[in-house]
Structure 1
Amino acid sequence: MILMKDIVRDGDPVLRKRAAKVNFPLSDEDKKLAHDMMEYLEVSQDEKLCKKYGLRAGVGLAAPQVGKSEQMAAVLVPPLDPDAEDQTPSFKDVIINPVIVSESVQYGALTEGEGCLSVDKDVPGYVPRHDRITLRYTDVNGEDHKIRLKNYPAIVCQHEIDHLRGTLFYDHINKQHPFEAPHDTILIG
């Protein structure tokens, strides 16, 4: 199981590299990596298990964050309404070789800003991202997907795709005015 000690921290060169495409069929090593990254997210979102293993809760984990410079990321966005009867995640999959094929002109940003398992310090400010995206990716079974995401799930996927390009969330924050966002940005949260 991936633990906090296994997660690469800001400053490690792997986080600033452009990750390599993943070949199919997946190797046993890549299948294990996909499984282990999703397992981390599932365990980290369980309050008791998160505490037991000393994890930080996460909704996404990219391969470079565990030292593998490959275009693979696990994403597990919980239901947007925690009190809803249907507790199906808003989005859950391991996205491999993801490509954003279209994006909205309108931006969205989380009111509380973004965090990252690889960044130990709090970096305040809005991280403007496209509010809606169309994402194309391959799953662990080699099946291709093309899906539309909006709001929080879109933001999470863009954050993880940034990891595959060597970009960290705070690179998007306006350094002079961290809580200034592009006109008409939807604030989420």
Structure 2
Amino acid sequence: MILMKDIIREGHPTLTKKAAPVKLPVSIADRNLGFSLLQYVINSQDDELAKKYGLRAGVGLAAPQINVSKRMFAMHVHDLDGKLYSMIVVNPVITHHSREMTYIPGGEGCLSVDRETEGITPRYVSIRMKAYIYDLQSNDFVLREMDLDGYPATVFQHEYDHLDGIMYTTKLYLEVPGATPLFDLYETEEDEI
């Protein structure tokens, strides 16, 4: 079980290094690593477990954050309509993205960053990605192409950056002209319906 003590912090060299691709087919050890990443995120969102084990809440965790330089991460996040995106992602590639940009008002956070940060991080509103995603029915990693938008797309991009050795703290801006606050995107959609 991954705990906060296992998560490396800002300044550690692994966090600024491009991670190596995961060898395919995914080994049992790498599969277990993916399960552990996902389990941390799920446990961290459970108030009782988070308190018991001293976990900071998160919606994603990348292998480099536990000092394993491999292109793998897990995310467990609901979009603002309540749809759950819970997945273990291996060797992802963003194949397309929108021109429109968004950001989380108040800024992003990260389990590897213990300090308060000022500024916002621009992200694409929507992305198309290709990756090996763990499939429960086949009990294997399956190559999939998927479109994500809004909050799940933002979380995906944050974790994807970790695989390239990029921390959100290096992408902070006081403002991003033309970018729409993430939660305003959903309000606009609701107003139009």
Tell me the residue number matched to 2:31.
31
SS in 2 for 1:100: strand
Query: Which runs of 5 or more residues in structure 2 are unaligned?
Result: 135-139, 184-193
* In structure 1, distance between residues paired with 2:133 and 2:71: 12
Q: CA deviation at 1:73?
A: 0.3
| Pairing partner for 2:177 from 166, 171, 182 | 182
Tell me the residue number matched to 2:97.
103
Tell me the residue number matched to 2:164.
165
Tell me the residue number matched to 2:143.
144
SS in 1 for 2:141: coil
Q: Any residues of structure 2 matched to 1:38-77 within 5 Å, and which?
A: 38-77=38-77
Q: CA deviation at 1:29?
A: 1.5
63-72 vs 136-145, which deviates more? Answer: 136-145
Give a deviation string over 1:18-58, Cα, whole Å, max 9, x none: 00001112222111110100000110011111111100000
Tell me the residue number matched to 2:123.
129
Q: CA deviation at 1:114?
A: 0.2
Give percent identity, aligned residues only: 43
SS in 2 for 1:160: helix
Letter aligned with residue 128 of structure 2: T
SS in 2 for 1:10: coil
| TM-score, structure 1 as length reference | 0.90
Query: Which runs of 5 or more residues in structure 1 are unaligned?
Result: 82-86
* In structure 2, distance between residues paired with 1:5 and 1:152: 27
Tell me the residue number matched to 2:186.
none
Q: CA deviation at 1:188?
A: 1.8
Number of residue-to-residue matches in the alignment? 178
Give a deviation string over 1:67-102, Cα, whole Å, max 9, x none: 100000001113525xxxxx651x111110000000
* In structure 1, distance between residues paired with 2:127 and 2:133: 18
> Over aligned residue pairs, what C-alpha RMSD do you find?
1.2
133-142 vs 160-169, which deviates more? Answer: 133-142
User: Runs of 4 or more off by more than 2 Å in structure 1?
Assistant: 78-81
